[in-house]
Amino acid sequence: MTRSDLVARISEIYPYMHISHVEKVVSIVMDSIMDTIKDGRRVELRGFGSFSIRKREKSEGRNPRTGEKVIVEEKKVPFFKAGRQLKDMVNGREVSERK
């Protein structure tokens, strides 16, 4: 699903909302998630999953074309961990509701 697919789906569910408003809301949500992660903070969407940053240490790799050793600098990478409900849904299990 792309961002435009998400906007189209929301517009189908809420036909009284103008598409430009739906696009704005989707952009605000996505930007908020990205800004929070960029700031090094965790984003948790209950039942869906959580986004965070993981640090990769400096390492030694190889150029696949030449086989030459290359130093891979330390970097931060985004990480997603699926929530229990999402995992259950993907695996065809009955979704458990938390109370």
Q: Does a structural domain hold residue 47?
A: no
Same domain flag for 27 and 56: no
Q: pTM for this structure?
A: 0.75
Beta bridge mates, 77? 54
pLDDT of res. 96: 59
34-91 per-position pLDDT tens digit: 999 999 999 999 999 999 999 999 999 999 999 999 999 999 999 999 999 999 999 9
Range of the domain at 67: 52-99
Whole-angstrom distance, CA of residue 38 vs CA of residue 65: 33
- pLDDT for 40: 92
Query: 82: domain CATH number?
Result: 4.10.520.10
> What are the angstrom distances between the C-alpha of 23 and each of 2, 26, 30, 73, 96?
12, 5, 11, 37, 31
Q: State the pLDDT at residue 97.
A: 60
- Asked if 56 and 29 sit in the same domain, the reply is no
Within a domain: 46: no
Using an 8 Å Cβ cutoff, are 94 and 88 in contact? yes
